[in-house]
Structure 1
Amino acid sequence: MYSNWRIKELKDELRKRGASLRGKKADLVERLELYDQNFNFDRPDKADNEDPKMQLPLSETYRDINSNTILPPLDKTMIRHYLCYTQKKIDTVVRLYESRHLLMARASVVGDNTFVKGYCRKTMKSLQYEVDIVLNINGNPEASHCECPAGSGTNALCKHVAVLLFGIENMVREKILLLQEVCTQKLQQFHVPKKLYTGTPVKVEKFYRRKSNPIFEPYPLKNIKKI
């Protein structure tokens, strides 16, 4: 069967099965025949190992979360039940949120569900992960997903999901969302002196005056030999 195939076709078939592409044509044909005899060595299909994705609304429907945004009544008790975190781990997540690891948060309402999308900064490196959370009308989290290795699937419980949940809870409770500040949000202070002068005023006659330098001749005329 495979002996009539071209080398390119043989390599494409081996590449689909995740097999080695080394060797001559006879080696490639033999390798494919062995794969057929052993039922592809019981390798699962790639489709079975794919990370399940959440059904999210269009990106155009998301709006930035502010004090006028209507959000479900999420509280800390719901967050603890969903994450199943210990108090020590919750304190760690709260410190991450208070240190402004959350970069952005947007929301989209579809029916009775509220979809929240956020970007959370990584702890050690200058990377960011996209986080998606679905809240029902009562505020209970129903699904979550994160781009980090620990946040795969539709029920992610990583710290980035927890940071976004605490951000939503803080917005519901105090109408405040702590996001990472950019350089234009802070008032410039470079013209303000670091230390105030506490000494007595100096009189004008005590100011240092630069002495007038006389004309300096590197080679005085009297030292120059006349020719």
Structure 2
Amino acid sequence: MAAAKYSLWTVPKLKAELSIKGAVITGRKADLIDRLVAYDRNHNFKPPIIEIPEAIDIEWPKHGYKQPIADHRLVFSKVTREQIDGYFLFRLAGDKQVNGDIKALEKGRDLLQAKKILACSVLILVDGIFLSGIVGAAMKKQVSYNYHIKLDKSGSPVNSKCECPAGKGPNATCKHVAAVLLMANIFSNTGEISIQKSCTEGLQTFQQPKTYYNGVPVKIEKTC
């Protein structure tokens, strides 16, 4: 046993071993031995190593997308908040280029509430579910970004990219991708989809008069 092995060591040797592990070296010999045994039992208290699979870019489909309809709730019903959180935490653990945007999910929720998702289309294929559309920038009204997201049949995100600086690569974890995934999750639960209406969906107003005349009608004068 480890305790029996360490009991044969001298106090200076025990302290030297603890110092290598970055542990406290004060206390009686029994305390030093217990501390070393605890470090051995817990693998020096190091966090588990997370192995990130190599990000493989895919060929994004260009045709066949449709506007989300009520039937798509069955498709999105598998998109859970746990899967979304897991995807972001998983990618943030290995993609150093996005480590600075740890609050992407929180910022994505703000974009969703501000109705910054301008468009979203769905394409269901044998190898997965594809989302494509546009999300507006948080601060600049005239700026927007195209996004692409792939979900597997279980609803888990497997690929994503966005035109924004943080969305490069085949596994983007930017706030724009977060907003779309959170929208899909809400849509699966409530049937509500937070997407800005297009100009053709609203009531036509550009040909309506801006002012109205409330006076007495004027008679037409004779010209001959």
TM-score bracket, normalised by the shorter chain, equals: 0.5 to 0.7
1:63 alignment partner, SS class: coil
For the residues of structure 2 that align with 1:175 and 1:87, how far apart are their CA atoms? 29
1:119 alignment partner, SS class: strand
User: In the alignment, which residue of structure 2 is the partner of 1:119?
Assistant: 134
Higher mean alpha-carbon deviation, 67-76 vs 148-157, is at: 67-76
Aligned pairs, number: 138
Give the alignment's TM-score, normalised by structure 2: 0.55
Are 1:145 and 2:161 counterparts? yes
Written as runs of structure 1 = structure 2, the 5 A alignment for 1:113-192 is 113-125=128-140, 126-182=142-198, 185=202
Are 1:93 and 2:108 counterparts? yes
Per-residue displacement from partner, 1:58-116 (whole Å, max 9, x unpaired)?
32x11111212242410111111111289965333212101100011111111141011
User: In the alignment, which residue of structure 2 is the partner of 1:23?
Assistant: none
2:60 alignment partner, SS class: coil
User: In the alignment, which residue of structure 1 is the partner of 2:84?
Assistant: 79
1:157 alignment partner, SS class: coil
For the residues of structure 2 that align with 1:151 and 1:161, how far apart are their CA atoms? 8
Aligned-CA RMSD value? 2.7
The aligned amino acid for 1:80 is D
Are 1:65 and 2:68 counterparts? yes
Written as runs of structure 1 = structure 2, the 5 A alignment for 1:17-36 is none
Written as runs of structure 1 = structure 2, the 5 A alignment for 1:96-111 is 96-111=111-126
Q: 1:119 to 1:139 in 2, by over 3 A?
A: same
2:71 alignment partner, SS class: coil
Rg (Cα) greater in structure: 1
Q: 1:91 to 1:186 in 2, by over 3 A?
A: farther
In the TM superposition, residue 133 of structure 1 has moved relative to its aligned partner by 0.6
The aligned amino acid for 1:81 is G
In the TM superposition, residue 53 of structure 1 has moved relative to its aligned partner by 5.0
Query: More relative contact order in 1 or in 2 (CA 8 Å, sep 6+)?
Result: 2
For the residues of structure 2 that align with 1:83 and 1:62, how far apart are their CA atoms? 25
The answer to whether the 8 A contact 1:104-1:118 is kept is: yes
Gaps in structure 2 of 5+ consecutive residues: 1-55, 93-100, 210-224
Give the alignment's TM-score, normalised by structure 1: 0.54
The aligned amino acid for 2:59 is Q
Higher mean alpha-carbon deviation, 86-95 vs 71-80, is at: 86-95
User: In the alignment, which residue of structure 1 is the partner of 2:222?
Assistant: none
The answer to whether the 8 A contact 1:67-1:171 is kept is: no
For the residues of structure 1 that align with 2:204 and 2:82, how far apart are their CA atoms? 38
Indicate the percent of aligned positions where both proteins have the same amino acid: 25
